[in-house]
């Protein structure tokens, strides 16, 4: 039987637009704390807030973006949020105080949360159901590329140019993303008037979260906490164990192995079901954190980057595919925001929680604790989603 078509012009342009939006996010996240310290003599805590308040804005806006995307219209929400994203980028240039910088970062985060939700919703709707895992994996590679290129570019600009050149780069990325989307046909949801009215008037918890996407998304809260221990502390850990040069290559290795593994893991999810991908991913992620806690050599340090890509990276794209697959088609936007609210929430609270235990157990002890957290998440996944897949498989004709 012929496969449904995945690689359409519209799918490619949406993925490219997402790449450039994500590049702005990672470029600024990795340089903002230093910028706040150098330009406004901010304390370490205020500098950290200058970086993280962006995520707070994104989290708040995702709540409403998922609920109202079909009410406002996908195209209207996408271009409206990108226009605000562009304006916020320009506002960095005249900023003359730390408080104004925090305000701009918050507005920028709000715009990012809406734009990212809209882009992901549109992309998920373009992916055929029989290639959901594969398509989600390929789409999420656009953000994966940004995780490697963004921090590298931020470091390069910081070392070789004036600080405001970072904002010039982000402005260009935003313009490119808007230009690309002008040539993209954006599908609208097939939705009844009754469903539309229900979305407009509801203000209960279920009106801001997609119930069917919530179980797998709850698992991602803990994955986000664990991964935040990598994003926030890997450079400090590399310095602590005298592997600074390897630290600069860690996310490059991570991105390379994500690119190599995504086509295989996505197809496996579509062909064999959720559990055959998720359980190994959780085990690999847990073991990679345990191995990271015992690192003494550069090769093993970079091997951990590869294994984390196979563990957390696979888990992230597969869980998103599951969340979308389980949700009603007219609530894809809500399912997308539910997934990212949980993931971003875990990554947002993670550094704060982890920062409390590092002084007591050190970096090695912290990674052991995160390995245990991920291992325990295997049981959480089983009770929230995994056992349903097992029951469905046992009841299917193929299984009997």
Distance in angstroms (rounded) separating the CA atoms of residues 35 and 100: 14
How many Å is the Cα radius of gyration of the chain? 21
Domain final residue pick, 169, 200, 231: 200
Distance in angstroms (rounded) separating the CA atoms of residues 351 and 233: 8
What pLDDT does residue 259 have? 83
Query: Is the domain of 41 the same as that of 167?
Result: yes
Query: Is the domain of 253 the same as that of 189?
Result: no
Contacts 24+ apart (CB under 8 A), 371-377: 371/286, 371/287, 371/289, 371/290, 371/293, 372/286, 373/222, 373/225, 373/226, 374/222, 374/223, 374/226, 374/282, 374/285, 374/286, 374/289, 374/311, 375/282, 375/283, 375/286, 377/219, 377/222, 377/223, 377/282
What is the distance in angstroms between the CA of the first residue and the CA of the last residue of the chain?
23
The structural domain count of the chain equals 2
Cα 339 to Cα 120, 312, 343, 345: the distances in Å are 11, 15, 6, 10
Crossing angle of helices 214-240 and 275-292, rounded to 10°: 20
User: Which residues have C-beta within 8 Å of that of residue 139, sequence separation ≥ 6?
Assistant: 11, 14, 15, 18, 120, 123, 124, 127
Lowest mean pLDDT among 42-46, 69-73, 243-247: 42-46
Percentage of the chain beyond pLDDT 90 is: 39
Asked if residue 18 has pLDDT above 90, the reply is yes
Query: Is the domain of 32 the same as that of 107?
Result: yes
- Lookup: tokens for 316: 């992230």
What pLDDT does residue 1 have? 47
Lowest mean pLDDT among 40-54, 108-122, 211-225, 281-295: 40-54
Write phi, then psi, for 35 (nearest 5 degrees). -60, -45
What pLDDT does residue 235 have? 75
The more confident residue out of 358 and 49 is 358
Domain final residue pick, 200, 218, 234: 200
CATH assignment of the domain containing 7:
1.20.1250.20
What pLDDT does residue 206 have? 66
Query: Is the domain of 187 the same as that of 216?
Result: no
181-224 pLDDT tens trace: 999 998 876 666 666 666 666 666 666 778 899 999 999 999 99
Distance in angstroms (rounded) separating the CA atoms of residues 322 and 129: 11
- Lookup: tokens for 98: 């730390």
Burial label for 294, CB within 10 Å (0-12, 13-18, 19+), is exposed
Distance in angstroms (rounded) separating the CA atoms of residues 20 and 27: 10
Query: Is the domain of 124 the same as that of 221?
Result: no
What pLDDT does residue 37 have? 81
Mean pLDDT of the chain: 85
Asked if residue 400 has pLDDT above 60, the reply is no
Distance in angstroms (rounded) separating the CA atoms of residues 284 and 58: 30
323-348 pLDDT tens trace: 988 888 777 778 888 888 898 888 87
Query: Is the domain of 288 the same as that of 149?
Result: no
279-304 pLDDT tens trace: 999 999 999 999 999 999 999 999 99
Query: Is the domain of 366 the same as that of 331?
Result: yes
61-87 pLDDT tens trace: 988 887 788 888 889 999 999 999 999
Rounded to an integer, the average pLDDT of 119-144 is 85
What pLDDT does residue 200 have? 60
Asked if residue 393 has pLDDT above 70, the reply is no
Domain final residue pick, 200, 229, 246: 200
- Tell me the pLDDT band of 392, cut-offs 50, 70 and 90: very low
Q: How many residues does the chain have?
A: 400
What pLDDT does residue 246 have? 79
Lowest mean pLDDT among 82-91, 203-212, 230-239, 240-249: 203-212
What pLDDT does residue 397 have? 37
Lowest mean pLDDT among 21-35, 207-221, 366-380: 21-35
Query: Is the domain of 224 the same as that of 297?
Result: yes
Coil/strand/helix, residue 385: helix
Query: Is the domain of 243 the same as that of 104?
Result: no
Query: Is the domain of 112 the same as that of 9?
Result: yes
What pLDDT does residue 394 have? 38
Rounded to an integer, the average pLDDT of 232-249 is 81
What pLDDT does residue 127 have? 86
Query: Is the domain of 6 the same as that of 124?
Result: yes
What pLDDT does residue 181 have? 94
Query: Is the domain of 268 the same as that of 329?
Result: yes
The angle at the Cα of 301, spanning 372 to 26, to the nearest 5 degrees, equals: 85
Cα 359 to Cα 196, 225, 293, 294, 351: the distances in Å are 51, 18, 15, 18, 13
* Domain with 373 in it: 209-400
Asked if residue 317 has pLDDT above 70, the reply is yes
């Amino acid at each position: 039987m012929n496969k449904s078509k995945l690689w359409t012009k519209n799918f490619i342009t949406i993925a490219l637009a997402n790449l450039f939006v994500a590049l702005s996010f990672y470029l600024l996240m990795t340089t903002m704390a230093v910028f706040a310290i150098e330009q406004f003599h901010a304390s370490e805590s205020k500098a950290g807030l200058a970086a993280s308040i962006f995520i707070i804005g994104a989290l708040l806006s995702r709540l409403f973006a998922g609920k109202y995307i079909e009410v406002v219209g996908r195209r209207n929400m996408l271009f409206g949020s990108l226009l605000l994203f562009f304006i916020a980028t320009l506002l960095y240039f005249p900023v003359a105080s730390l408080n104004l910088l925090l305000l701009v970062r918050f507005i920028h985060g709000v715009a990012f949360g809406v734009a990212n939700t809209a882009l992901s919703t549109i992309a998920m709707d373009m992916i055929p159901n029989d290639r959901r895992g594969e398509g989600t994996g390929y789409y999420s590679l656009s953000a994966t590329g940004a995780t490697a290129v963004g921090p590298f570019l931020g470091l390069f600009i910081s070392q070789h140019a004036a600080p405001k050149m970072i904002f010039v780069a982000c402005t260009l990325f935003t313009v490119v993303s808007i230009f690309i989307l002008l040539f993209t046909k954006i599908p609208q949801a097939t939705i009844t008037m009754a469903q539309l009215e229900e979305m407009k008037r509801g203000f209960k918890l279920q009106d801001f979260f997609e119930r069917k996407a919530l179980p797998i998304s709850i698992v991602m809260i803990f994955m986000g906490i664990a991964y935040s221990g990598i994003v926030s502390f890997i450079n400090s850990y590399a310095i602590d164990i005298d592997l600074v040069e390897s630290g600069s290559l860690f996310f490059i290795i991570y991105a390379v192995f994500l690119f190599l593994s995504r086509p295989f893991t996505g197809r496996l999810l579509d062909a064999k079901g959720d559990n055959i991908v998720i359980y190994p991913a959780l085990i690999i992620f847990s073991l990679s954190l345990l191995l990271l806690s015992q690192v003494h050599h550069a090769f093993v340090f970079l091997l951990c980057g590869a294994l984390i890509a196979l563990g957390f990276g696979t888990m992230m794209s597969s869980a998103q595919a599951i969340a979308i697959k389980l949700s009603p088609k007219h609530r894809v936007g809500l399912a997308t925001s539910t997934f990212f609210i949980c993931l971003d929430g875990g990554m947002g609270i993670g550094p704060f929680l982890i920062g409390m235990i590092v002084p007591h157990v050190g970096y090695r002890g912290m990674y052991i604790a995160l390995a245990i957290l991920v291992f325990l998440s295997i049981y959480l996944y089983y009770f929230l989603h995994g056992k349903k897949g097992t029951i469905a498989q046992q009841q299917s004709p193929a299984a009997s």
